[in-house]
Amino acid sequence: MPGTSPGLRLTARALLLDMDGTLVDSDAVVERVWSEWAVRHGLDPRDVLPVVHGRQGWATMAELLPDRPLAEHHADNRALLAEEAADTVGVVPIPGAARFLDAVRHVPHALVTSADTALAGARMAAAGLRVPELRITAESVGLSKPDPEGFLKAAAALGVAPADCLVFEDSAAGVEAGRAAGMRVVGVGPRAGAFAPTAHVATLEAVRVRVLADGVVRLCLTPAGE
């Protein structure tokens, strides 16, 4: 896989950060809420859980219930988002997330998440993490990952070319969205390695950040499994 040599170094002018699975471990809540949703709709949670990560809920619903009107998916998703925001039991930071966010505080960066503003705020607060000033949430886009809209909007808002951005993601939809935006992608966590990101780390503990004099960010990565 490209980018898996020890001590891999990447440079960028902006960092675009997914939330769930990348900064915040919310798998316990996601599995709880979506398992209950699956049962309510006569679906097997074992078939639902593998496809819920990374995308907006309505997009997942449209795949699982293709004959249901889109308006119903959106209404159902609004209810599910509120349910998820109210349930933060088991939400914890990904190891190294707080240190990483502190290291990039003065670097152009953005949160690019499929969560809405309320859910993003609830989960980042539950994990005790700083919320980046620039946030591209579900309300900011018309399309869900794997569409690149969110990442492209973040790059434009930061005034940085897509090729100079580095995405941090954990899901298939997120990695695909980053690549579609013309960006390099660092996969974070156990799911990400299967989706051929540019580089793959086990957690953010494996990332070291250095800001150079010209504003370029240099990242030293210890690849997963090493």
Residue ranges in 9-148 assigned as alpha helix (H): 27-40, 45-48, 57-64, 70-86, 97-103, 117-126
Longest C-alpha distance within the chain, in Å? 57
Tokens of 223: 């690849």
Per the residue annotation, which of 20, 25, 27, 116 is the catalytic one?
A: 20
Strands 184-188 and 199-201: parallel
Q: How far apart, in whole angstroms, are the C-alpha atoms of residue 129 and residue 107? A: 17
18 labelled catalytic: yes
Contact between 13 and 165 under an 8 Å Cβ cutoff? The reply is: yes
Q: Which strands make up the sheet holding 199-201, listed edge to edge?
A: 134-136, 109-112, 14-17, 165-169, 184-188, 199-201
DSSP-derived letter for residue 206 is G
Which residues are designated catalytic?
A: 18, 20
